[in-house]
Structure 1
């Protein structure tokens, strides 16, 4: 059975022929062979930088809930093998969707398991950003600041009044910028404070436009992004305090954008709606970037001592990015096919809560 599994994964025998062979073989032998191969594959990826939420997202994008559930189970089982597990890893595992209530039949389970094994084999090792279970890592964040920002953004997302939402969002960005400035000034001589990176999921549809929104939020908060469309995430490079703010703000602004887009989109025409949404999100990202940068500049204004500090930090962030991604290309901009969508997106960005 182990040989059949290896041959299917390597392409030595066809997928359907391999699946047929596993289907009629003794269940205990098949389960041992498939289970062992999957454990090895998960071990390679988890130790090779993949976090539970990231791996679940990239597999869930394939549209097979059984495969996604197998990833969630594997991540939880992998963490239980170790006494030392980073809290961020535990939080991600706890946040994964529960398995479907209806258990798949054996043929479906074999098919999904074998298919999952082939998908896992195609994934590359990536940079370790959260220490995998069995290693020790720390994460320094200002929980009080983050809670205040979360509270403001929650109000922005819940209100039905655009002006009120805008005020909350603006206040959140102001708080993020102020905290970033404070952290920059107090960490100048602390060697342990270094730029880092975090991967943030960018889901379909309209991944390119969503990645542009994330980049706009990042640039306004002293960070840089690299989008990996085939893997379903962008890597945000910056200092921890800045990345925390970027992640919170991006998530909230996306919620606000989707709500405004659903309210303003045309009632008929599939092609028209698609063009409207894409143009809406492009305009929204551009205008949000302008507004966030304006708030940040206002916080920096009048503090001459801060400019060389921020310049030095930006050089450090770029250096880390270059080491992680020595070769990158600029993403092509999206076409604007709907003036209606563009104008609606700009207006929604003007109404969006930045605090």
Structure 2
């Protein structure tokens, strides 16, 4: 075995800080190993791709378990590994576009320690459900929102989230929903019969991740998608057709922003009155907010029928989504949700859900007249 092999064997496959220090000492003492060490890192990144991980997943994991230097090391490795390929699979370019930060350097021992800590995390990542091809594999370009329409929808939602005037927010989000509904109906009528569902992952981060997962599940269900939450890894996988997945992502993000802002305002009023139990208030608020929005979305989806000529198409698409979700997740379990303990938080959360502008569900409005 080479010195590099000895260092990696000690750091990555043995437990404890002592083995990590041993590996870092071996690497720090030999600058000639730097290039080979980086190559091993790129190989670990490629191995993560092949086990189902994508750039955003790795970034989320490192943010949760390690520190900023590790994140910058990871970013550099992702950039260099993905630069080896020509065209990248769908959603990868957007994820890579969110990478930021400069390369990180320190004294040789500290740098080697951080590299080995990152590699230890990468080598221990489990295999997860693949949500698309990895770089280098053939893929079909997705069908979804046209770029100009997506830009318009995002701009409308951003204005709705920023305004302090409820009437303006309602008008903006109603217009965004109208655009989404019109596009989704058109897409369903024009999509080829061979079109198959896709999937993507979205972070469901602490704190209050259970409430966030419930909210995402409600949004997904209203848009004829399926959401499966992986609580241990901090994300949900949403299965559906591309246009519907865009709706889920936009609506969930918008409602989470609106809910967080409403929670902050309600909590401020509570604290001004002398209240201090902010954690239980927030937990109860978000659980109530998610539950009530689920009721609103489900009711709206059931009350607005699709055009008769599209019913067979939509039914076929729903069956395809269910089948693809079952293929990805043949074994799922239910999770018991903790009871809500704060009445004020519950009441404020329900009121905020009633006031939230449901702005992105393509199934909640028919065609505009």
Structure 1 gaps of 5+ residues are none
Whether the 8 Å contact between 2:6 and 2:23 is mirrored in structure 1 is no
Displacement of 1:341: 1.0
From the superposition, tell whether residues 107 and 335 of structure 1 become closer, same or farther in structure 2 (CA, over 3 Å): farther
Match of 1:312 among 306, 316, 335: 316
Displacement of 1:278: 1.0
Displacement of 1:312: 2.5
Moved more, 194-203 or 143-152: 143-152
**What secondary structure sits across from 1:256 in the alignment?**
helix
Displacement of 1:117: 1.2
Displacement of 1:21: 4.8
**TM-score, normalized by length of structure 1?**
0.89
| Counterpart-to-counterpart distance in 2, 1:47 and 1:341 | 44
**What secondary structure sits across from 1:50 in the alignment?**
coil
1:156 corresponds in structure 2 to: 160
Displacement of 1:346: 1.3
Deviations 1:108-157 (A, max 9, x none): 32222111111112212333334333234312222243233212211211
Match of 1:42 among 28, 41, 45: 45
Match status 1:287 vs 2:292: yes
Match status 1:71 vs 2:74: yes
**What secondary structure sits across from 2:334 in the alignment?**
coil
Q: Which 4+ residue blocks in structure 1 deviate beyond 6 angstroms?
A: none
2:363 corresponds in structure 1 to: none
From the superposition, tell whether residues 279 and 167 of structure 1 become closer, same or farther in structure 2 (CA, over 3 Å): farther
1:172 corresponds in structure 2 to: 176
Deviations 1:233-268 (A, max 9, x none): 110011111111000111111111111111111326
| Counterpart-to-counterpart distance in 1, 2:343 and 2:106 | 47
**What secondary structure sits across from 1:61 in the alignment?**
helix
**What secondary structure sits across from 1:212 in the alignment?**
helix
From the superposition, tell whether residues 69 and 309 of structure 1 become closer, same or farther in structure 2 (CA, over 3 Å): same
From the superposition, tell whether residues 200 and 255 of structure 1 become closer, same or farther in structure 2 (CA, over 3 Å): same
Paired residues for 1:1-355 under 5 Å: 1=3, 2-11=5-14, 14-23=16-25, 25-32=28-35, 34-86=37-89, 88-99=91-102, 103-137=105-139, 138-143=141-146, 144-187=148-191, 190-265=192-267, 266-267=270-271, 272-300=277-305, 303-355=307-359
Task: Count residues with an aligned counterpart.
Answer: 349
Structure 2 gaps of 5+ residues are 360-369
Displacement of 1:320: 0.5
| Counterpart-to-counterpart distance in 2, 1:17 and 1:283 | 47
